[in-house]
């Protein structure tokens, strides 16, 4: 028997799935789960090399196991992965939401800490492949713009939202960890979005 968990939350770096605990406890819907990225508070599968593509494949496999389209919500790296999975495997999603859509804009530049995490050549090759991938996202999307996030650039988020026909949500005065700053506000915003998505 397949489990049905229509809302799936994916954390970023250097966090764990517990990032979502307060927001999830503020949701009115009971059908949600927060996934732990391999190596973030849990073991990595044998042979898992921790590349961006392996993480995207891992997330798609986790969603396949759930057995029906989900409402996917990603933060930071999890947000990158959410958009990547939406562009490649939209059939797994009822909707998607990300606070990291700006990474898919051609003008995107990593903040200085993220640049130190990249190995020369590998990161650039992945970004080139990601930018070259046509965005053919089937599920409705939500680009979350936390206006006080020092790592985001609103104009990049808006450009990707326009290309993917995603809605935008501005969380005024909230920063990178918006789900911790005001979990109730984040939960209400997501629930409003989900209630507007036709099945």
Does the residue 2 lie in any domain? Answer: no
pLDDT averaged per 10 residues, the chain (length 199):
71 94 96 95 91 95 95 96 95 95 76 58 61 72 91 74 87 95 96 89
| CATH code at position 179 | 3.40.50.1820
For every residue of 115-131, DSSP letters joined together read: HHHSPTTHHHHHHHHHH
Does the residue 97 lie in any domain? Answer: yes
Does the residue 81 lie in any domain? Answer: yes
Domain range for 170 is 7-196
pTM of the model: 0.74
| Residue carrying structure tokens 């005065």 | 173
Does the residue 1 lie in any domain? Answer: no
CA nearest to 151, candidates 127, 176, 118? 176
Does the residue 12 lie in any domain? Answer: yes
Does the residue 101 lie in any domain? Answer: yes
How many domains does the chain divide into? 1
Does the residue 37 lie in any domain? Answer: yes
In the DSSP assignment, the letter for residue 43 is: P
């Amino acid at each position: 028997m397949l489990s049905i968990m229509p809302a799936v939350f994916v954390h970023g770096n250097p966090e764990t799935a517990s990032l979502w605990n307060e927001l999830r406890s503020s949701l009115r819907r009971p059908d949600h789960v927060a996934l732990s990225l391999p190596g973030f508070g849990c073991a990595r599968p044998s042979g898992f090399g921790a590349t961006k593509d392996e993480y995207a494949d891992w997330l798609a496999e986790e969603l396949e196991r759930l057995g029906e389209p989900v409402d996917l919500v990603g933060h930071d790296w999890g947000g990158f992965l959410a958009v990547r999975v939406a562009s490649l495997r939209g059939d797994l999603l009822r909707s998607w939401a990300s606070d990291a859509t700006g990474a898919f804009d051609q003008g995107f530049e990593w903040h200085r800490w993220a640049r130190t995490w990249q190995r020369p050549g590998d990161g650039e090759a992945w970004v080139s492949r990601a930018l070259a991938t046509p965005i053919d996202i089937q599920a409705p999307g939500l680009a979350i713009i936390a206006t006080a996030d020092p790592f985001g650039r609103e104009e990049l988020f808006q450009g990707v939202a326009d290309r993917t026909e995603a809605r935008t949500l501005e969380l005024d005065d909230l920063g990178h960890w918006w789900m911790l700053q005001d979990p109730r506000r984040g939960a209400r915003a997501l629930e409003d979005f989900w209630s507007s998505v036709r099945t």
